Amino acid sequence: MNQEDYNVLRDEANAEPRRYSQWDSHGQFREEAAARREAAAREHQEPEEVLAPVDTRSSSSSSTSSTSSASQTLEQIRTQPQSVAGTTAASIISRHPTERDPEAIRRIETHRSQQQHTVGKTLTEGGRTITRRLTSRKEKPMPKMGADKQYPPLLPEQEEYVVEYDGPDDPLHAQNWKMSRKLYIGAILAFDALAATMGSSIFSPGIGQVSMHFGVIMEVGTLGTSLFVFGYAFGPLCWAPMSELYGRRLPLVIAAFGFSIFSIAVAVGKDLQTVLICRFFAGIFGSCPLAVVAAVFADMFDNRLRGLAVAVFSATVFMGPLLAPFIGGFITESYLGWRWTEYISAIMGFTAFGLIAVFLPETYPPVVLISKAEELRRRTKNWGIHAKQEEIEVDFKELIVKNVSRPMRILFTEPIVLLITLYMSFIYGILYLFLTAYALVFQGVYGWTSGVSGLAYFGMLTGEIIAFIYVVLDNPRYARKLAANNNIPVPEWRLPISMAGAGGLFWFGWSGYTGKVHWIVPVLSGIFTGFGIFSIFLSLLNYIVDAYLMFAASALAANTFMRSLFGGIFPLFATYMFDGMGIEWASTLLGCVALLLVPMPILFYLYGKKIRMKSKFAPAPDIEQDKRRDEESRGAADLSSDGTPTREKEEDKI
């Protein structure tokens, strides 16, 4: 285990001991942590130089203290006995009334763990968190206080000045808000996500007019859609760390405004390069809801409702690209022309901007505490009071590691992430490929107009709605299994719904290539295609989260990057493939590739535990404990109270 991964696990263990005991049931991390502490104690040497004070905010009020106190080093404080100087992270957790209760730790998700996973650079040694960089020979000399002032003394215990949540029911925490408030916030965020995703495909019905207007071939005009989706790949590299540094609200406000501005720039563009470049930047700003909205739902909902909330968000994300074509089609056919498709996107974007700026409160727990600390500083005049989030120092190297290096390392070294990402990327590419395929079938074969052909996407929309209803109805059963397992998620429970076939792709191609079959037949094929796309995407997304826990953000970052590339590339070759191979054989090729991927979730359902045992990032499951639990469940399910097997208990077996 390298130092970086060790630090992440250590911080997670200090912040959430209950969760820590779940993924370290065999004590491997405890042993490594003890060995590293002993090695650090043996190799410790006193530094030769005086180090910087820990916190100048509170120490500046004590400038009249003696010089001898100022010369005391941080290392000396860290190495004093625990009863005299610093306390370990474990003792801090046991000392604070908010954190004594393990349920409070699970319920609150305080800034102690979340702050460690941001892009800020912190130093944590000996259980004491220090965010001011130590003076070294490579750094410039520490500046003087000025006006002949001596360095103020160090704080006796920095943790005493860190604000916390006031118990598990603190009304400041988003999970304790009223459900009505959560629902209207969710509606605002759903509209924001809908505006961004509709912007990705509302341009596609006007590709023909754009190509004719600028005198280019259709494939060049298709870049307007592809570059927007490419923006989805690169945008989260900015928005995700910003949301962890400055909260969820700020990036959402900036992104909604930027998306609207660049949509207007596309609408008024005088040349093709302006249109394409602005579409790319509109995609970068439009990617913010995809990267941040799910995190807002995670801030507001606990484990019981979080999956349902994410399902609602995912439904919105997939409905946007399918709703936009018929709207854009009718606008393009009217006297308004293709430019008004972008004006519509801008209007929706500015509406989302206004709703977010006025009605959306901050939900990220570490940033919420900053406001609390600011009020306490103002009213108590104690400059040392602060939130953990305020200790962060932005470090470019750590930003690159956490948002680029680690996701790519997980993608190419973890077979679970690699294979699932390929599967999800393929179905995401199919979604955007059908923006071209449906136009070829219903406009080219059936002779429909651009607006009317967009109505054919309601078949896929119906399939996605059916899949969403299934997820909602299945959620109570999953919640019961989770409660019976001491709220420890088993990732493989997410996979059964993803074991869908590829019948919709074959149906679409072989029923729509001649025009002799009634148009309702290829439209109905979209029900199966939409059901498969949504159910596969949602179940595999939840599987990654449950399988990688504290590294789930990095795994999802790699997943988002790869699938966005597929979503942008597939439309570029769609026309050549369907024209060259024919609609029926091109659909057959896609269906065969989908069939080859169908066994993947089955493989992980059967052997996922063993694969995760060999992973460097996924918490190793306790196989022996699982076997005992399976045996107990099997024995309890053999006979019901009247001596006959129960169907319900058989279904609840793992």
Highest mean pLDDT, choosing among 85-89, 223-227, 632-636: 223-227
Report the C-alpha gap between 198 and 623 in whole angstroms.
Answer: 45
- Give residue 560's pLDDT: 87
Nearest to 192 by CA among 296, 113, 96: 296
- Give residue 68's pLDDT: 39
Report the C-alpha gap between 206 and 224 in whole angstroms.
Answer: 10
| Domains in the chain: boundaries | 3-57+73-134, 174-363, 414-621, 626-654
Report the C-alpha gap between 589 and 581 in whole angstroms.
Answer: 9
First to last CA, the chain: 31
**With bands split at pLDDT 50, 70 and 90, how would you rate the model's confidence at 631?**
low
Highest mean pLDDT, choosing among 70-84, 185-199, 230-244, 402-416: 185-199
Percent of the chain topping pLDDT 90? 27
**With bands split at pLDDT 50, 70 and 90, how would you rate the model's confidence at 4?**
low
User: Of how many residues is the chain composed?
Assistant: 654
Q: What class has domain 414-621?
A: mainly alpha
**With bands split at pLDDT 50, 70 and 90, how would you rate the model's confidence at 588?**
very high
Q: What class has domain 174-363?
A: mainly alpha
Domains 174-363 and 414-621 equal at CATH topology level = yes
Q: Which residues of 18-41 are buried (b: 16+ CB within 10 A; e: fewer)?
A: ebbebbbbeeebeeebeeeeeeee
Report the C-alpha gap between 71 and 135 in whole angstroms.
Answer: 13
- Give residue 349's pLDDT: 95
The average confidence (pLDDT) of the chain is 77
Contact 3, 23 (CB under 8 A): no
Contact 262, 226 (CB under 8 A): no
- Give residue 34's pLDDT: 65
Report the C-alpha gap between 528 and 523 in whole angstroms.
Answer: 10
